[in-house]
Structure 1
Amino acid sequence: MLVDEHDHETGFLDKLAAHSGQGVLHRAFSLFVFNSQGELLLQQRAADKRLWPGFWSNTCCSHPRRGEAMDKAIHRRLGEELGMQCELDYLFKFQYQAQFDDEGAEHELCWVYAGHSDATPVVNVNEISALRYLSPAALDQEMASEPQAFTPWFRIEWERLRREHPQVLVPRAILPA
């Protein structure tokens, strides 16, 4: 779903074309799921991903389909990638462009959501090569010492989440689904 800088739809393009060259601005989302101890579930992107293969990133990220409401898209994708469902709260959206190589980039207007779950993830191996939980302090330390191990959008989102939405980092009791 192509958009302008105000998030108004301007057309549609297939995924490969939208990420080619310097990328074409399109709508995306990023999800942050924390467990009851306040640890973030991170995923390592599958090795055969076109952009940022093997990099560590937030819990889940993707794009809504043509005509799909964002609320439906975020829950659909969390289920497809991790076999999980949880309540997700909208936090913010932002625009960024990140060049991976001469042939591909991200250029997204990204909606960011956070939720809490103690459900056991079921990995979609086509999307994810590894999972792990990290405390915010441990993640801050790792990002400071090895920023190149993390996707560019995740680094941007994490810094803003820490600064503007510290309430999502607080450990909390999670009721069983």
Structure 2
Amino acid sequence: MKPLVKLFGLLPLRRYLATVAKPLNPVQEAALEERCILVDENDHECGSASKRDCHRLVNGHIPLHRAFSVFLFNTREELLLQQRSSTKITFPDHFTNSCCSHPLYEIENERDTLNGAKAAACRRLSFELGIPKNQCKPDDLQYITRIRYMSEGDGTWGEHEIDYIFLMQKDVTLDPNPDEVKTTLYVPKTKIFNFLNNLKYPITPWFNLIVQNELTNWWENLKSLEKVMDHKNIINYK
């Protein structure tokens, strides 16, 4: 098996964003008008901007905004991965962790930092993956840490986020939304690196960073997550 870092770590993050075909999908284009929560480097709210403005690279700059990523494990300790829809504006067809998105400025309870990120995660787990609302509640989400990263993508669309990381271990019902998700599958810990090494599609930059740096440790401590929690610091990936 080739080491994962050789396959992913030495390639620029620009590699992971494919060119988006035009015209844009109407569902995805409408979502660009939703408003993300702008934050400073310490994750303090400092305004809002549309998703379009928060993901469009302008003179090498992308506004820093709040996001979340969910890693959903079933009771067999397999991790749910998704392949993003071909119509997604950012990172179409890329494989990534179970669910990733943003708390929205216009939804009042989603502006409440940690609780807001949890509320947004439950909303998107239902919207993207079709998980019934009674199977995903904020208390099901274990907050692990925050990461900050930036990807210039293809030079047009990219990311610059403080990303709340949630782990959830539960058997759930899936009914993926085809506007958001192309494929879902559960992967066991013993096969994750082989799966990613042989994948014919790219993976998202935040998932790439987490796989290289954090995922194994989290996975090995699913029954004792307090060992891997860091609620004070923001992990900065340069």
Fold shared per TM-score above 0.5: yes
Which structure shows the bigger proportion of residues in strand conformation? 1
* Aligned equivalents of 2:123, 2:154: Cα separation in 1: 30
Q: 1:59 to 1:10 in 2, by over 3 A?
A: same
Q: 1:148 to 1:156 in 2, by over 3 A?
A: farther
Query: In 1, are the aligned partners of 2:67 and 2:117 still within 8 Å (CA)?
Result: no
Bigger relative contact order (CA 8 A; separation at least 6) = 1
How far apart are residue 90 of structure 1 and its match?
A: 0.4
Q: Does 1:77 align with 2:124?
A: yes
| 155-164 or 107-116, larger mean C-alpha shift | 155-164
Q: Secondary structure at the match of 1:13?
A: strand
Q: 1:124 to 1:144 in 2, by over 3 A?
A: same
Equivalent residue, structure 1, for 2:14: none
Consecutive unaligned residues in structure 2, runs of 5 or more: 1-36, 111-115, 225-238
Q: Secondary structure at the match of 2:210?
A: helix
TM-score, length basis structure 2: 0.67
Query: In 1, are the aligned partners of 2:148 and 2:160 still within 8 Å (CA)?
Result: yes
Structure 2 counterparts to residues 82-93 of structure 1, below 5 A: 82-84=129-131, 85-86=135-136, 87-93=140-146
Residue number among 80, 85, 91 corresponding to 1:52 in the alignment: 91
Task: Find the structure with the greater CA-based Rg.
Answer: 2
Equivalent residue, structure 1, for 2:51: 15
Query: In 2, are the aligned partners of 1:27 and 1:108 still within 8 Å (CA)?
Result: yes
Letter in 2 for 1:168: L
How far apart are residue 146 of structure 1 and its match?
A: 4.7
Equivalent residue, structure 2, for 1:63: 102
**Could you say what the CA RMSD is over the residues aligned between the two structures, in angstroms?**
1.9
Q: Percent identity?
A: 36
Q: Secondary structure at the match of 1:143?
A: helix
Query: In 1, are the aligned partners of 2:95 and 2:204 still within 8 Å (CA)?
Result: yes
Q: 1:30 to 1:141 in 2, by over 3 A?
A: same
Equivalent residue, structure 2, for 1:163: 217
- The count of aligned residue pairs is 170
* Aligned equivalents of 1:30, 1:48: Cα separation in 2: 20
Q: Does 1:133 align with 2:191?
A: no
Q: Secondary structure at the match of 1:126?
A: coil
Query: In 2, are the aligned partners of 1:91 and 1:165 still within 8 Å (CA)?
Result: no
Query: In 2, are the aligned partners of 1:29 and 1:111 still within 8 Å (CA)?
Result: yes
TM-score, length basis structure 1: 0.88
Q: 1:164 to 1:122 in 2, by over 3 A?
A: closer
Letter in 2 for 1:78: L
Query: In 1, are the aligned partners of 2:77 and 2:188 still within 8 Å (CA)?
Result: yes
| 142-151 or 71-80, larger mean C-alpha shift | 142-151
